[in-house]
Chains A and B, each alone.
Chain A
Amino acid sequence: MGTLSSLMDLSREALMADQAALNVTAGNVANQNTPGYTRQVVSWQQTDAVTLSGQTYSTGITSTAVSQRDRILEHRVQQQTQTQAQSGALESALQQVQNIFGLTSSAISASLTALGSATDAFFNSFSALEANPSDAATRQSVLAAANNLVSVFNSSANQLAQVTSGLNQQIVSVTGQINTLTSTIASLNQQIASSGLQGDAGVLEDQRQYAITQLSQYIGLDQMTTEANGITLTTSNGALLVSGGQSYAMSTTLVAGTVHVLAGGGGQDMTSGLTGGQLGGILQARDQQLPTYASALDNLAYGIATAVNAQNALGTDGNGNLGAAIFNLPPTAAGAAASIQVATSDPQAIAAAVPGEGSAGNSNAIALADLSTASLVGTQTATGFLASFLGQIGNDTAAAATDSTVQQATLTQLTSQRNALSGVSLDEEASNLTQYQRSYEAAAKVFSIVNTIMASALNLGVQTTVS
């Protein structure tokens, strides 16, 4: 049996432990909206018992606050953040490209776009010339259609270049954000190392984790834990960003008018291998997608113009001379869409007749009109190539939008899981996992039933009315 004094000590210990537990709870409530805050739980420990004269006396209980964090879950959230940000940035860039060509989800027919209608109108103007080869107004209409087509090519190419220019500016801006965050993380590394785990490391860990999650929005990262609870960060292609208390700033430089990213201690050009985060998406759009579209546009402009020039040269113009070029072009397809121009303002320059046919002849006008069904770009007609090209942009954009939605939903799910699993007991964790499993099964069932519904609808054939 303890003395009155020892009982009072026990009571005091218990009250202090209770007060500490209340403080932990209050801290959790107060910080529930603090970005990156990790919930704390109370851990109770019985203090060592004392044995006197064969009797064992409890000396009370103490409590400690424990920040619980699952590094693997947090790492998955960071990786997903990088994937989602890349996907979102790519979608945003492709939406801009889609807008340039007037593509929307409800109007994807190539002939309804500005480029499609200009191409059709240009070839149709030669068809009109067949009927009235000597008519000045009809000849003027051919030149007007050519000018309109050139204008649409120039405008589309310039807008594509503007999108590229905007992406270059974003790269510079994102690089600045990255440098701010890597500097913060390095500073936190230093504070954590110097404070030790018995100090305020929990809060500092939260702050560092939050900064890394923010950084993940901008760039793909590889992360290594080092001694003294430090973290080393590199880009996805190995350039050092943070090592202990030292951060390595990224920079940008212009190479042939294109912004390149330099990173790592030596300032190497890391542009080609950077993935993940907004920067990854921007680079993917700028260096992979947009050049493909620009090249296709160039090929289309070059294909149409070279064929028309060649055919016009085979005929005689309104003044009885051999036809000259209608379009001015660069020597190769590169840059053709941006630089193509109509070479003449003289309606008589259109070579509607063939040599010996006289100025009222129309044989070459027929041949010029027939170019609409000839293979002008590889093995494709101009309108066929344009339809494929615009279809590719539409498909790429739709795929990017779907992927972005999926990645965002997955990030939301991972974040929910991390938050729900942070600071719970293993029993609660098992319960939560069971609930997740059942949620997945219910959603999978919805998916399965929708597939059945769609298969039935397809079997009936697609109707023009909705019941």
Chain B
Amino acid sequence: MAIDQAVADVLDETVRALSLLDLNRLETLEKRIAGLAVSMLVVDQAGMDSIRARRDVLEGVLHHSASNLNALNRLYGRDTRDQWEHSAR
């Protein structure tokens, strides 16, 4: 597989794994992209556009994830849950 396609695939899979917060998958993808980084990427305009579009999606999801994580961390420790107790019998 050409390197540009491999990079594009990693980006697609990263977005999916980040959506599901699949840590194991993300750690595998991190290793895969680190391996690809040692190869020389020579790519035509269409290939570069394809990678850039996927990178933009990942950037957007990361942006929202960071904001969301910050909110979750703020909420942690403040038990914001509402509980409805009712008899289990």
Give me the interface of A with B, judged by CB distance under 8 Å: 16, 20-21, 23-24, 42-43, 63-73, 76, 106, 197-202, 205, 398, 402-403, 405-406, 409-410, 412-414, 416-417, 420-421, 426, 429-430, 433, 435-440, 442-447, 449-454, 456-458, 460, 462-467
Q: Does the CB pair B68–A416 fall under 8 Å?
A: no
Can you list 8 A-B pairs, Cβ within 8 angstroms, ordered by A? A20-B89, A23-B88, A65-B86, A433-B76, A442-B23, A442-B29, A443-B58, A449-B36
**A20-B88, A64-B88, A66-B84 known; A446 and B65 CB under 8 Å?**
no
Q: How far is the CA of A142 from the CA of B56 in the complex (A)?
A: 46
Tally of contacts, chain A with chain B, CB under 8 A: 211
User: Do A426 and B68 contact each other (CB < 8 Å), given the known contacts A65-B85, A416-B20, A447-B62?
Assistant: no
The answer on a CB contact under 8 Å between A413 and B48 is: no
A447 and B55 CA atoms in complex are apart in Å by 7
Inter-chain contact B73/A445, CB cutoff 8 Å: no
* 3 nearest A-B residue pairs (beta carbon): A406-B60, A442-B26, A20-B88
Cα-based distance from A24 to B75 in the complex (angstroms): 27
Of the residues B17, B34, B88, contact of A21 by C-beta under 8 Å: B88
Q: What is the bound-complex CA distance between A435 and B44, given in angstroms?
A: 38
Chain B residues closer than 8 Å to A445, beta-carbon distance = 30, 33
In contact, B60 and A454 (Cβ under 8 angstroms): no
Q: In the complex, which of the residues B23, B47, B59, B89 contacts A439, with contact meaning CB atoms closer than 8 Å?
A: B23
How many B residues face the partner with a CB closer than 8 A?
66
Give Cα A33–Cα B43 distance, bound, in whole angstroms.
Answer: 46
**Nearest B-chain residue to A467, judged by Cβ:** B42
Report yes or no: B19 in contact with A439, Cβ–Cβ below 8 A: no
- Assuming A197-B86, A449-B37, what are 8 further A-B pairs, CB within 8 angstroms? A65-B87, A402-B60, A409-B18, A416-B19, A443-B14, A456-B40, A457-B48, A460-B40
Interface of A is mostly: helix
Tell me whether A443 and B65 are in contact (CB under 8 A): yes
Selected from A70, A449, A464, the residue in CB contact (under 8 A) with B34 is A449
B18 and A202 form a contact (CB under 8 A): no
Contact of B11 among A21, A42, A402, A446 (CB under 8 A): A446
CB of A446 within 8 A of CB of B21, answer: no
Residues of A within 8 A of B88 (CB): 20-21, 23-24, 42, 63-65
Does A205 lie within 8 Å of B47, measured CB to CB? no
Known: A409-B19, A443-B18. A430 touches B76 (CB 8 A): yes
Considering only CB atoms, which chain B residue lies closest to A456 in the complex? Answer: B41
Q: Which of A43, A403, A413, A451 contacts B85 (CB 8 A)?
A: A43
A42–B83 Cα gap in the complex (Å)? Answer: 12
Q: Is the CB of A201 within 8 A of B86?
A: yes
Contacting B80 at CB < 8 Å: which of A16, A71, A199, A410?
A71
Please name all residues of chain B whose beta carbon is closer than 8 Å to the beta carbon of A413 when the two chains form the complex: 18-21, 61, 64-65, 68
